[in-house]
Chain A
Amino acid sequence: MSFIDHKLREINCKLVYYGPGLGGKTTNLQYVFNKTRPEAKSKMISLATETERTLFFSFIPLSLAEIRGYRVRFHLYTVPGPVFYDSSRQLILKGVDGVVFVADSQEERFEADVESLESLESNLAIHGYELAKVPLVLQYNKRDLPNAVAVAELDRELNTLKRPAFEAVASAGTGVFETLKAIAKPVVQGLRAGDGS
């Protein structure tokens, strides 16, 4: 969960973009990165680490008020593309503050969406977290494709917890920031609640 850097006076929150391979997780991160002002963001880093190749960067939303004199820095993570070891996707969940589940709306990827959500829920549970208690937002990506499953069906199958869900075309930026704002909100609320302010 979030850690505080007293020297820099920053609260660091980890947001993980999770979902099936080729669903648009990396595209989301790249879009946010490209649209964020240089002075507010770190470099985009791709590391071959214990979690395989991990893509991440951090930024400080300038519009977000400080919390008792501390700025909030969001670290956006994903495991780009298909991974060789399935467990890699699970390792990235360690210490997560919020999850964006990026579903691929295409009909032929529906079962992959379900599989990915199942692995997310299962591995959070093994870590002792309940999906129901972790800030979670769903993004139904690739809405521009003709074989996209109806949103109602995606909702019925993937969004049983009735969390905020957004339609997106991440490659065009549609829905990307709406999703990010939606996951940032409960995370920041959690911080403020912990702060007591």
Chain B
Amino acid sequence: MTLASLLAGPPSLRAWRRICAALDDVDALEEVDAACVGWPDELRRAPGRWLRGLLDGRPQPRLRVTRSVELTLVGVEVEGDRLAWIEAPELAQVTILRVLDDRFADAGVRRWLESANFLGIVELTLASGISDRGAQLLADDERLAGLRSLGLFRNQIGAVGISALIARPRPWRRLLLGRNRMGVAGARTLAGPTGLAELELLDLDCNRLDGAAVRALVSGPQLAGAKILNLSNNRIGGEGCAALADAPMDRLEVLYLHGCGLDDDAVATLLRAPWLSRLRNLALSDNALSMVSIERLVARPTLSLGELDICHNPGILEGAAESLLRGAPQLAGLRRLCL
């Protein structure tokens, strides 16, 4: 297939891969850029080999045609300037940026703030090692106003940083704050008066939250429109489940409660939630559940899940649990069952 036919065809990741491969051999940047104007930015990904070249200090003009960058620099040594991508003119047009760099920290945030790139960014992930101070600095960045998704997971952000980030109206649909240091204070901050009116995804994985923190969180309006909620690896226990069950989360479709210190009573409490019938994906793995919870799940006639993760619960017998769950007519659509 020729480059011309790829450019004339429908947008797809397959086609984009081939276009990038072609650009390794021919100089057709202007042609590609013009032909791909209508392509979704998510498809126009920067190939890793080009990004590696940039990190190694070699100019990468081909990156001008890309709009999406994902950099995972964990345990990766870079001889040149590790943060060179921030000012690289080749990446000025990027609108989707996901960076996980184990040495990013507040110094990376400061460098980011000095950059005139990424003015049209709509999805931003920056990690790791960003502190409250870094989050405060980032909060003043005008580019955050145009985001639909902000990911600051795997950092060291607490209530102070969160307060700064959400102090003004934000049109964010997705907010990923997993693996930070929120605690109860952070949950209360997040639940307070904020401009997060359109949130569809909230990730608070591993944030030192307890039942009281969840109670505080659901007292605010932010979760009303949430479709995806991740509270995994927080010891929310029965109190947290009760808070969730009472919350008006009428749009919730995905709930992750992996490693939350739940027992059968906690799950029984959760199962009384009126929003349960909308749920499509539920993770209850790595808790302290027994077959009693399986029986209670099966007994809920309105529970219609597509995915259920209940692995790593020592009291659940795999064969018996699978038999019960597969035999429940309301769970006929269960396409993924993790035992």
Contacts and interface: CB of A to CB of B under 8 A. Distances in A.
Interface string A72-103: 00000000111011110011001000000000
Nearest to A85: B153
Given A81-B307, A125-B52, 11 more contacts: A46-B311, A46-B312, A48-B258, A53-B258, A84-B178, A84-B232, A87-B100, A94-B75, A111-B14, A118-B45, A125-B48
B80 to A, nearest CB: 13
A114 B48 contact: no
Interface stretch (B66-74, B192-200, B240-248): B66-74
A124 B52 CA distance: 10
A194 interface: no
Nearest to A110: B14
A85 B74 contact: no
Interface in B44-74: 45-49, 51-52, 55, 70-74
A122 B12 contact: no
Interface string A108-125: 000100110011011111
Interface residues of B, number: 42
B203 A84 contact: yes
Contacts, number: 85
A2 B256 CA distance: 35
A130 B73 CA distance: 16
A81 B256 CA distance: 13
A114 B75 CA distance: 26
A64 interface: no
Contacts of B47: 121-122, 125
B14 A157 contact: yes
15 contacts: A22-B335, A22-B336, A48-B259, A53-B258, A80-B338, A81-B307, A87-B74, A87-B98, A90-B74, A91-B74, A114-B14, A124-B48, A125-B51, A126-B55, A126-B72
A93 B15 CA distance: 26
